[in-house]
Copies of this chain bind each other. A is one copy, B any other.
Amino acid sequence: MPEETTESSRPTLEAVAARAGVSRATVSRVVNGGAGVRQPLVDRVREAVEELGYVPNQAARSLVTRRQGAVAVIIAEPEFRIFSDPFFEQQVRGISRELTARDTQLVLLWVEGPGDHGRIARYLDGGHVDGALAFSLHSDDRLPALIARSRVPAVFGGRPAASGPAVPYVDCDNRGGARDAVRHLVSLGRERIAHLAGPRDQTSALDRIAGYHDVLVDADPELLCQGDFTRESGARAMAELLDRRPDVDAVFASNDLMAAGALRTLRERGVRVPEDIAVVGFDDMESVVRETDPALTTVRQDIEGMGRLMVRLLMRLLDGAADAATASVITETRLVRRASA
Protein backbone atom coordinates (compact mmCIF):
# COMPACT_ATOMS: atom_id res chain seq x y z
CA MET A 1 0.00 0.00 0.00
CA PRO A 2 1.49 3.41 -0.93
CA GLU A 3 2.32 5.70 1.95
CA GLU A 4 -0.20 8.47 2.45
CA THR A 5 0.91 12.03 3.09
CA THR A 6 -0.26 12.88 6.59
CA GLU A 7 0.06 16.05 8.57
CA SER A 8 3.16 14.84 10.32
CA SER A 9 5.00 13.27 7.34
CA ARG A 10 6.12 15.80 4.79
CA PRO A 11 6.47 14.82 1.15
CA THR A 12 10.16 14.44 0.31
CA LEU A 13 12.36 15.68 -2.51
CA GLU A 14 12.51 12.05 -3.71
CA ALA A 15 8.71 11.85 -3.91
CA VAL A 16 8.61 15.01 -6.03
CA ALA A 17 11.37 13.66 -8.30
CA ALA A 18 9.50 10.34 -8.74
CA ARG A 19 6.19 12.06 -9.46
CA ALA A 20 7.78 14.43 -12.01
CA GLY A 21 9.97 11.72 -13.52
CA VAL A 22 13.17 13.75 -13.07
CA SER A 23 16.30 13.51 -10.94
CA ARG A 24 16.55 14.85 -7.39
CA ALA A 25 19.14 17.37 -8.61
CA THR A 26 16.64 18.75 -11.11
CA VAL A 27 13.99 19.15 -8.41
CA SER A 28 16.53 20.90 -6.20
CA ARG A 29 17.52 23.30 -8.99
CA VAL A 30 13.88 24.15 -9.77
CA VAL A 31 13.05 24.70 -6.11
CA ASN A 32 16.02 27.07 -5.81
CA GLY A 33 15.10 29.22 -8.80
CA GLY A 34 15.24 26.91 -11.80
CA ALA A 35 18.44 28.29 -13.37
CA GLY A 36 19.69 26.00 -16.15
CA VAL A 37 16.58 23.78 -16.23
CA ARG A 38 14.49 23.59 -19.41
CA GLN A 39 10.99 25.08 -19.11
CA PRO A 40 9.04 21.81 -19.68
CA LEU A 41 10.95 20.19 -16.82
CA VAL A 42 10.43 23.26 -14.63
CA ASP A 43 6.70 22.99 -15.30
CA ARG A 44 6.57 19.28 -14.50
CA VAL A 45 8.46 19.74 -11.24
CA ARG A 46 6.23 22.65 -10.21
CA GLU A 47 3.12 20.56 -10.91
CA ALA A 48 4.48 17.73 -8.79
CA VAL A 49 5.38 20.18 -6.00
CA GLU A 50 1.85 21.56 -6.06
CA GLU A 51 0.15 18.14 -6.20
CA LEU A 52 2.14 16.72 -3.31
CA GLY A 53 2.15 19.88 -1.23
CA TYR A 54 5.95 19.73 -1.07
CA VAL A 55 7.66 22.38 1.05
CA PRO A 56 11.43 22.74 0.59
CA ASN A 57 13.50 22.69 3.76
CA GLN A 58 14.31 26.32 4.41
CA ALA A 59 17.52 25.65 6.32
CA ALA A 60 18.96 23.60 3.45
CA ARG A 61 17.74 26.18 0.97
CA SER A 62 19.41 29.03 2.88
CA LEU A 63 22.70 27.12 2.82
CA VAL A 64 22.54 27.00 -0.98
CA THR A 65 21.27 30.50 -1.64
CA ARG A 66 22.45 32.29 1.52
CA ARG A 67 19.07 34.01 1.40
CA GLN A 68 16.03 33.88 3.64
CA GLY A 69 13.68 34.49 0.75
CA ALA A 70 11.95 37.28 2.65
CA VAL A 71 11.96 41.08 2.44
CA ALA A 72 10.54 43.50 5.01
CA VAL A 73 8.38 46.43 4.00
CA ILE A 74 8.51 49.04 6.76
CA ILE A 75 5.98 51.85 6.73
CA ALA A 76 6.77 54.72 9.08
CA GLU A 77 3.10 55.44 9.75
CA PRO A 78 0.58 54.11 12.28
CA GLU A 79 -1.70 51.26 11.27
CA PHE A 80 -4.83 53.40 10.78
CA ARG A 81 -3.08 55.52 8.11
CA ILE A 82 -1.75 52.45 6.26
CA PHE A 83 -5.26 51.09 5.92
CA SER A 84 -6.84 54.41 4.90
CA ASP A 85 -4.34 56.06 2.53
CA PRO A 86 -4.57 54.69 -1.04
CA PHE A 87 -0.94 55.71 -1.68
CA PHE A 88 0.33 52.85 0.51
CA GLU A 89 -2.02 50.34 -1.05
CA GLN A 90 -0.78 51.19 -4.55
CA GLN A 91 2.89 51.12 -3.61
CA VAL A 92 2.56 47.88 -1.60
CA ARG A 93 0.69 46.33 -4.55
CA GLY A 94 3.65 47.02 -6.84
CA ILE A 95 6.11 45.66 -4.26
CA SER A 96 3.97 42.57 -3.62
CA ARG A 97 3.72 41.67 -7.30
CA GLU A 98 7.42 42.08 -7.91
CA LEU A 99 8.39 40.03 -4.83
CA THR A 100 5.87 37.30 -5.72
CA ALA A 101 7.40 37.07 -9.19
CA ARG A 102 10.72 36.35 -7.42
CA ASP A 103 9.12 33.86 -4.99
CA THR A 104 10.16 36.12 -2.12
CA GLN A 105 7.97 36.56 0.95
CA LEU A 106 6.82 40.09 1.77
CA VAL A 107 6.55 40.81 5.50
CA LEU A 108 4.89 44.10 6.36
CA LEU A 109 5.89 46.05 9.48
CA TRP A 110 4.76 49.46 10.59
CA VAL A 111 5.62 52.04 13.20
CA GLU A 112 2.97 53.24 15.64
CA GLY A 113 5.45 55.50 17.40
CA PRO A 114 9.11 56.02 18.39
CA GLY A 115 8.74 53.27 21.02
CA ASP A 116 8.61 50.73 18.16
CA HIS A 117 12.02 51.65 16.71
CA GLY A 118 14.14 49.48 18.98
CA ARG A 119 11.99 46.44 18.33
CA ILE A 120 12.12 46.92 14.55
CA ALA A 121 15.90 47.30 14.70
CA ARG A 122 16.15 44.05 16.68
CA TYR A 123 13.97 42.31 14.11
CA LEU A 124 16.23 43.48 11.29
CA ASP A 125 19.29 42.44 13.30
CA GLY A 126 17.81 38.96 13.72
CA GLY A 127 18.68 38.05 10.13
CA HIS A 128 15.09 37.20 9.26
CA VAL A 129 15.01 39.14 6.02
CA ASP A 130 17.38 39.63 3.11
CA GLY A 131 16.55 43.29 2.75
CA ALA A 132 14.15 46.06 3.67
CA LEU A 133 12.00 48.57 1.82
CA ALA A 134 11.03 51.58 3.92
CA PHE A 135 8.76 54.48 3.22
CA SER A 136 6.79 57.49 4.34
CA LEU A 137 9.74 58.95 6.21
CA HIS A 138 9.68 62.24 8.06
CA SER A 139 12.69 64.47 8.52
CA ASP A 140 13.05 63.73 12.24
CA ASP A 141 12.73 59.99 11.68
CA ARG A 142 15.37 57.75 13.31
CA LEU A 143 14.40 54.85 11.08
CA PRO A 144 16.97 55.43 8.29
CA ALA A 145 19.78 55.53 10.87
CA LEU A 146 18.48 52.38 12.58
CA ILE A 147 18.21 50.56 9.27
CA ALA A 148 21.68 51.71 8.21
CA ARG A 149 23.11 50.37 11.48
CA SER A 150 21.36 47.01 11.05
CA ARG A 151 23.42 46.36 7.89
CA VAL A 152 20.34 44.88 6.20
CA PRO A 153 20.42 46.22 2.62
CA ALA A 154 17.58 48.69 2.23
CA VAL A 155 15.91 50.86 -0.37
CA PHE A 156 13.78 53.83 0.60
CA GLY A 157 10.59 54.99 -1.04
CA GLY A 158 10.94 58.74 -1.35
CA ARG A 159 14.18 60.63 -0.77
CA PRO A 160 15.08 60.64 2.95
CA ALA A 161 15.93 63.97 4.54
CA ALA A 162 19.49 65.14 3.95
CA SER A 163 20.25 65.03 7.69
CA GLY A 164 20.18 61.23 7.76
CA PRO A 165 22.64 58.70 6.32
CA ALA A 166 23.01 58.49 2.52
CA VAL A 167 20.76 55.60 1.46
CA PRO A 168 19.51 54.38 -1.92
CA TYR A 169 15.96 55.44 -2.73
CA VAL A 170 13.36 55.52 -5.46
CA ASP A 171 11.47 58.75 -5.90
CA CYS A 172 9.74 60.65 -8.67
CA ASP A 173 10.92 64.00 -9.96
CA ASN A 174 8.84 65.98 -7.48
CA ARG A 175 10.46 69.30 -8.32
CA GLY A 176 10.22 68.86 -12.09
CA GLY A 177 6.61 67.70 -11.84
CA ALA A 178 5.72 70.75 -9.77
CA ARG A 179 7.37 73.00 -12.38
CA ASP A 180 5.26 71.36 -15.11
CA ALA A 181 2.08 71.95 -13.10
CA VAL A 182 2.84 75.63 -12.49
CA ARG A 183 4.06 76.28 -16.05
CA HIS A 184 0.79 74.80 -17.32
CA LEU A 185 -1.18 77.27 -15.18
CA VAL A 186 1.03 80.13 -16.45
CA SER A 187 0.42 78.99 -20.04
CA LEU A 188 -3.34 79.28 -19.39
CA GLY A 189 -2.77 82.95 -18.60
CA ARG A 190 -3.25 82.63 -14.84
CA GLU A 191 -1.52 85.40 -12.91
CA ARG A 192 -2.17 84.76 -9.21
CA ILE A 193 -1.21 81.10 -8.77
CA ALA A 194 -1.37 79.74 -5.22
CA HIS A 195 0.32 76.62 -3.83
CA LEU A 196 -1.29 74.38 -1.19
CA ALA A 197 1.88 72.89 0.26
CA GLY A 198 2.29 69.47 1.94
CA PRO A 199 3.95 68.82 5.31
CA ARG A 200 7.38 70.46 5.67
CA ASP A 201 8.93 67.37 7.26
CA GLN A 202 8.63 65.38 4.02
CA THR A 203 11.05 65.90 1.14
CA SER A 204 8.34 65.33 -1.49
CA ALA A 205 6.38 68.32 -0.20
CA LEU A 206 9.51 70.49 0.07
CA ASP A 207 10.58 69.60 -3.48
CA ARG A 208 7.16 70.54 -4.85
CA ILE A 209 7.37 73.90 -3.07
CA ALA A 210 10.81 74.39 -4.65
CA GLY A 211 9.38 73.57 -8.12
CA TYR A 212 6.63 76.16 -7.59
CA HIS A 213 9.25 78.78 -6.75
CA ASP A 214 11.44 77.75 -9.71
CA VAL A 215 8.69 79.03 -12.02
CA LEU A 216 7.28 81.81 -9.84
CA VAL A 217 10.47 83.33 -8.51
CA ASP A 218 8.67 86.37 -7.09
CA ALA A 219 5.55 84.54 -5.86
CA ASP A 220 3.55 86.52 -3.31
CA PRO A 221 4.08 84.77 0.08
CA GLU A 222 0.35 85.20 0.74
CA LEU A 223 -0.31 82.68 -2.05
CA LEU A 224 1.61 79.89 -0.25
CA CYS A 225 -0.71 77.91 2.08
CA GLN A 226 0.12 75.05 4.40
CA GLY A 227 -1.59 71.63 4.44
CA ASP A 228 -0.61 68.13 5.52
CA PHE A 229 -1.53 65.91 2.51
CA THR A 230 -5.02 65.17 3.89
CA ARG A 231 -8.27 66.09 2.11
CA GLU A 232 -9.41 68.12 5.13
CA SER A 233 -6.26 70.25 5.13
CA GLY A 234 -6.81 71.03 1.44
CA ALA A 235 -10.39 72.14 2.08
CA ARG A 236 -9.32 74.33 5.02
CA ALA A 237 -6.30 75.88 3.25
CA MET A 238 -8.49 76.73 0.25
CA ALA A 239 -11.06 78.45 2.50
CA GLU A 240 -8.37 80.52 4.23
CA LEU A 241 -6.86 81.44 0.87
CA LEU A 242 -10.21 82.64 -0.52
CA ASP A 243 -10.74 84.78 2.59
CA ARG A 244 -7.25 86.29 2.37
CA ARG A 245 -6.84 86.59 -1.39
CA PRO A 246 -10.19 86.46 -3.22
CA ASP A 247 -8.35 87.49 -6.42
CA VAL A 248 -6.53 84.09 -6.70
CA ASP A 249 -7.10 82.55 -10.16
CA ALA A 250 -5.24 79.21 -9.93
CA VAL A 251 -4.18 76.63 -7.33
CA PHE A 252 -1.46 73.97 -7.48
CA ALA A 253 -2.06 71.47 -4.65
CA SER A 254 0.82 69.32 -3.42
CA ASN A 255 -1.22 66.12 -3.80
CA ASP A 256 -4.55 64.91 -5.21
CA LEU A 257 -6.22 64.49 -1.82
CA MET A 258 -5.59 68.16 -0.98
CA ALA A 259 -6.78 69.18 -4.47
CA ALA A 260 -10.01 67.20 -3.90
CA GLY A 261 -10.51 69.04 -0.59
CA ALA A 262 -9.91 72.38 -2.32
CA LEU A 263 -12.48 71.52 -5.03
CA ARG A 264 -15.03 70.79 -2.29
CA THR A 265 -14.48 74.24 -0.74
CA LEU A 266 -14.69 75.94 -4.14
CA ARG A 267 -18.00 74.16 -4.91
CA GLU A 268 -19.42 75.14 -1.50
CA ARG A 269 -18.44 78.78 -2.12
CA GLY A 270 -19.93 78.75 -5.62
CA VAL A 271 -16.58 79.38 -7.31
CA ARG A 272 -16.41 77.95 -10.87
CA VAL A 273 -13.56 75.55 -11.77
CA PRO A 274 -11.69 76.14 -14.04
CA GLU A 275 -13.40 79.41 -15.16
CA ASP A 276 -12.72 81.36 -11.94
CA ILE A 277 -9.97 79.22 -10.43
CA ALA A 278 -8.01 76.47 -12.19
CA VAL A 279 -6.83 73.54 -10.01
CA VAL A 280 -3.94 71.10 -10.51
CA GLY A 281 -3.05 68.19 -8.18
CA PHE A 282 -0.13 65.78 -7.86
CA ASP A 283 -0.10 61.93 -7.88
CA ASP A 284 -2.87 60.89 -10.33
CA MET A 285 -4.19 58.59 -7.61
CA GLU A 286 -6.92 56.58 -9.30
CA SER A 287 -9.29 56.31 -6.33
CA VAL A 288 -9.17 60.11 -5.86
CA VAL A 289 -9.22 61.46 -9.42
CA ARG A 290 -12.14 59.30 -10.59
CA GLU A 291 -14.46 61.04 -8.12
CA THR A 292 -13.49 64.71 -8.51
CA ASP A 293 -15.84 67.08 -10.29
CA PRO A 294 -14.60 68.55 -12.57
CA ALA A 295 -12.06 65.85 -13.50
CA LEU A 296 -8.71 66.75 -11.95
CA THR A 297 -5.72 67.89 -13.98
CA THR A 298 -2.72 66.48 -12.15
CA VAL A 299 0.93 65.43 -12.26
CA ARG A 300 1.12 61.66 -12.66
CA GLN A 301 3.70 59.60 -10.80
CA ASP A 302 3.67 55.83 -11.30
CA ILE A 303 3.18 54.79 -7.66
CA GLU A 304 2.82 51.05 -8.29
CA GLY A 305 5.74 51.14 -10.73
CA MET A 306 7.90 52.86 -8.11
CA GLY A 307 7.11 49.99 -5.73
CA ARG A 308 8.31 47.54 -8.38
CA LEU A 309 11.46 49.60 -8.95
CA MET A 310 12.23 49.53 -5.22
CA VAL A 311 12.24 45.72 -5.32
CA ARG A 312 14.40 45.56 -8.46
CA LEU A 313 16.90 47.99 -6.99
CA LEU A 314 17.04 46.02 -3.73
CA MET A 315 17.66 42.78 -5.64
CA ARG A 316 20.49 44.43 -7.57
CA LEU A 317 22.03 45.56 -4.28
CA LEU A 318 21.71 42.01 -2.88
CA ASP A 319 23.33 40.59 -6.01
CA GLY A 320 26.17 43.08 -5.76
CA ALA A 321 25.11 44.46 -9.14
CA ALA A 322 24.52 47.98 -7.84
CA ASP A 323 26.32 50.32 -5.46
CA ALA A 324 24.20 51.73 -2.65
CA ALA A 325 25.82 55.17 -2.87
CA THR A 326 24.90 55.73 -6.51
CA ALA A 327 21.93 53.44 -7.08
CA SER A 328 19.01 55.79 -6.41
CA VAL A 329 16.40 56.11 -9.13
CA ILE A 330 14.36 59.21 -9.98
CA THR A 331 11.34 58.45 -12.16
CA GLU A 332 9.72 60.90 -14.54
CA THR A 333 6.39 62.57 -13.95
CA ARG A 334 3.85 63.57 -16.58
CA LEU A 335 1.18 66.27 -16.60
CA VAL A 336 -2.27 64.72 -17.19
CA ARG A 337 -4.63 67.40 -18.52
CA ARG A 338 -8.28 67.06 -17.58
CA ALA A 339 -11.09 69.56 -17.00
CA SER A 340 -9.98 71.33 -13.81
CA ALA A 341 -7.13 73.26 -15.51
Q: Does chain B have a CB within 8 A of A293?
A: no
Which B residue sits closest to A123, measured CB to CB?
Answer: B105
A61: B residues at CB distance < 8 A? 122
Q: How many copies of the shown chain assemble into the complex?
A: 2
Q: How far is the CA of A126 from the CA of B105 in the complex (A)?
A: 12
Which B residue sits closest to A129, measured CB to CB?
Answer: B128
Would A103 and B125 be within 8 Å (CB), given that A7-B148, A148-B7, A165-B7 are in contact?
A: no
Q: Does chain B have a CB within 8 A of A245?
A: no
Q: How far is the CA of A149 from the CA of B54 in the complex (A)?
A: 11
Asked whether A55 lies within 8 Å of B146 as measured between CB atoms, the reply is: yes
CB contacts under 8 Å to B, within A134-156, are: 142, 145-146, 148-150
Q: Does chain B have a CB within 8 A of A93?
A: yes
Asked whether B112 lies within 8 Å of A109 as measured between CB atoms, the reply is: no
Asked whether B79 lies within 8 Å of A105 as measured between CB atoms, the reply is: no
Asked whether B80 lies within 8 Å of A122 as measured between CB atoms, the reply is: no
A55: B residues at CB distance < 8 A? 118, 121-122, 125, 146, 149-150
What is the minimal beta-carbon distance from A223 to any residue of chain B, in angstroms?
Answer: 36
Q: How far is the CA of A79 from the CA of B86 in the complex (A)?
A: 12
Select one of B89, B107, B112 contacting A100, CB under 8 A.
B112
Would A62 and B126 be within 8 Å (CB), given that A92-B79, A105-B109, A116-B100 are in contact?
A: yes
Which 10 A/B pairs are nearest by Cβ-Cβ distance?
Answer: A108-B108, A107-B107, A58-B126, A128-B128, A83-B89, A55-B121, A58-B125, A105-B123, A58-B122, A105-B119
